[in-house]
Amino acid sequence: MAKRSTITSPYVPDLKELKSWLESMVASMRLVELVAAVLALVTRMRDINLELTKQLASLKRARPRSERLEFLERQLALPLGLTPVPKAKTDEDAGEKKKRSRRGRHPGRAALPAHLERVQMPNPVPPELRICPKCGSEMKTVAHTVGCETLEVIPAQVIVVQRVDETVA
């Protein structure tokens, strides 16, 4: 079967050329060929769009977050000199390996740098959940735990916000 010539370029379609081609196909009553050609053009444009979407997604994933943190620390340390910058790793440090916890196959994310300032944000138990389901009395606070740490960048400052969860009994 001979290869059909395309109507117009899927990358930069010439609309005048496309309109004149559509009018000539309708005038000559070649509707089956018209529908097939339009479907081929739409399919090709969809494929190009999918390819470009995949390229964009891979570019967004290209830079690991740890590199971004180091970049921010270096950038903040340059003009102000206020933020302590960790010492660069040497060849001696590369030979030493950290012990990994035995939590399972995936060790989890490493802790955020210790030199960053910590700001605690309380996360109290709501009043309606402080009522004991067994006896109906109000429960008292027995402990606080750090639920999670998130990294937040404030202009000219990098801090770690710790969510402190309240535990009642």
pLDDT in tens, 15-72: 788 788 888 888 888 888 878 888 888 888 899 889 988 888 877 776 656 667 777 7
**Which DSSP state fits 122?**
E
Residue 37 has a CB neighbour count (10 Å cut-off) of: 19
Q: What CA–CA distance (Å, rounded) separates 157 from 160?
A: 10
User: Strand (E) positions, the chain?
Assistant: 117-123, 141-154, 157-168
Q: pTM for the complete prediction?
A: 0.31
The pLDDT of residue 119 is above 60: yes
Phi first, then psi, for residue 61 (nearest 5°) are -85, -5
Ranges of beta strands (E only) in 16-156 are: 117-123, 141-154
Report the distance separating Cα 140 and Cα 76, nearest Å. 43
